[in-house]
């Protein structure tokens, strides 16, 4: 995890430098940009059968393309990486199962969510945006144990101490649909560079993010969320605009 932490620090410093440098520019651009690139880091967490609350926090990255950025109603394309973990501590008052399957008490997973969203700017002023976005995406995940062994195969090798972690009828894919919901705010400098803070609930349509479903005690799908710290970079502009209210 040392390399990932170093990369995240580097990207954060790079984004800060870009925003700080351009905030002092006096150049007057023609109008709001039509498309904007978003890059940033994230703090991600999971809730599910191994952690009913968002108790473990890890890192992540987010890259997005904001289209129709000069309008109140935008389109955005996102790719978000999160490293997630969950662990359930043994309850001394609860007896563990006496025979397989033995559900895992820990999982870790590298996840990637790609999505297309509609973003509505509640506040749509020249320098400040307050927005909500709802999207449809594809979510990749691959739960592993403490040693990095994949859990999806549900392997059984009792002589070597390997036991099933799920019922035999429980099969799932590494991919699931997602319905990401995002709430955020962005501040833009005079030259249309900006920085922002947002929260995203991934809403993956799976209960196997942690490899536990039927043998768990939390109803419904698992959840992943992130707090995003982003830098916004204008990519393209339209024609000169007259001073009228943006739609």
Backbone angles phi, psi at 20, to 5 degrees: -65, -45
3-state helix, strand, coil in the chain (%, to 5): 10, 45, 45
Model pLDDT, residue 167 = 93
Residue 87 CA, chain-centre distance (Å), reads 20
80 within 8 A of 137, measured Cβ to Cβ: no
Bond from prior residue into 209 cis (ω within 30 degrees of 0): no
Give the pLDDT confidence of 202-236 residue by residue, as tens digits: 999 999 999 999 998 899 999 999 999 999 999 99
Mean pLDDT confidence for 93-111: 84
Alpha carbons within 13 A on the beta-carbon side of 172? 25
Model pLDDT, residue 160 = 66
Give the pLDDT confidence of 16-36 residue by residue, as tens digits: 555 555 544 445 555 789 999
* Residue 131 CB partners (closer than 8 Å, separation 6+): 74, 119, 120, 121, 122, 123, 182, 183, 184, 185, 186
Which range among 6-10, 137-141, 156-160 shows the weakest confidence by mean pLDDT? 6-10
Give the pLDDT confidence of 37-88 residue by residue, as tens digits: 999 999 999 999 999 999 899 999 999 999 998 899 999 999 999 999 999 8
Which regions of 104-222 does DSSP assign to beta strands (E)? 106-124, 128-140, 175-178, 181-188, 194-201
Give the pLDDT confidence of 165-175 residue by residue, as tens digits: 999 899 999 99
Which range among 89-98, 99-108, 184-193 shows the weakest confidence by mean pLDDT? 89-98
The CATH label, of 3.30.365.10, 1.10.300.10, 2.40.160.20, 2.30.30.230, for the domain at 2-25+34-236 is 2.40.160.20
Model pLDDT, residue 91 = 67
Question: pLDDT higher for 146 or 99?
Answer: 146
Give the pLDDT confidence of 124-141 residue by residue, as tens digits: 998 999 999 999 999 999
Model pLDDT, residue 124 = 94
Mean pLDDT confidence for 119-126: 95
Which of 193, 135, 186, 203 has its CA nearest to residue 18?
A: 193
Model pLDDT, residue 102 = 87
The residue behind tokens 């992540």 is 60
């Amino acid at each position: 995890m040392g390399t990932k932490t170093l990369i995240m620090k580097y990207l954060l410093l790079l984004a800060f430098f870009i925003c700080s440098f351009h905030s002092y520019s006096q150049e007057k651009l023609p109008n709001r940009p039509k498309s904007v690139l978003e890059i940033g880091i994230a703090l991600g967490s999971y809730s599910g059968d191994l952690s009913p609350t968002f108790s473990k926090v890890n890192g992540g990255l987010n890259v997005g393309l904001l289209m129709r950025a000069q309008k109140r109603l935008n389109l955005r394309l996102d790719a978000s990486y999160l490293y997630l973990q969950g662990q359930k501590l043994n309850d001394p008052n609860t007896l563990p199962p006496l025979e397989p399957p033995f559900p895992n008490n820990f999982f870790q997973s590298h996840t990637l969510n790609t999505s297309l969203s509609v973003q509505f700017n509640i506040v749509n002023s020249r320098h400040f945006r307050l927005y909500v976005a709802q999207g449809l995406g594809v979510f990749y995940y691959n739960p592993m144990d403490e040693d990095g062994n994949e859990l999806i195969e549900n392997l059984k090798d009792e002589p070597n101490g390997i036991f099933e972690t799920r019922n035999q009828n429980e099969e799932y894919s590494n991919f699931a649909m997602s319905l990401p919901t995002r709430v955020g705010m962005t501040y833009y400098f005079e030259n249309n560079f900006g920085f922002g803070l947002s929260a995203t609930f991934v809403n993956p349509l799976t209960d196997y993010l942690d490899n536990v479903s039927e043998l768990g005690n939390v109803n419904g799908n698992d959840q992943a969320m992130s707090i995003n710290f982003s830098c916004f970079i204008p990519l393209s502009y339209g024609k000169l605009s007259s001073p009228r209210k943006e739609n």
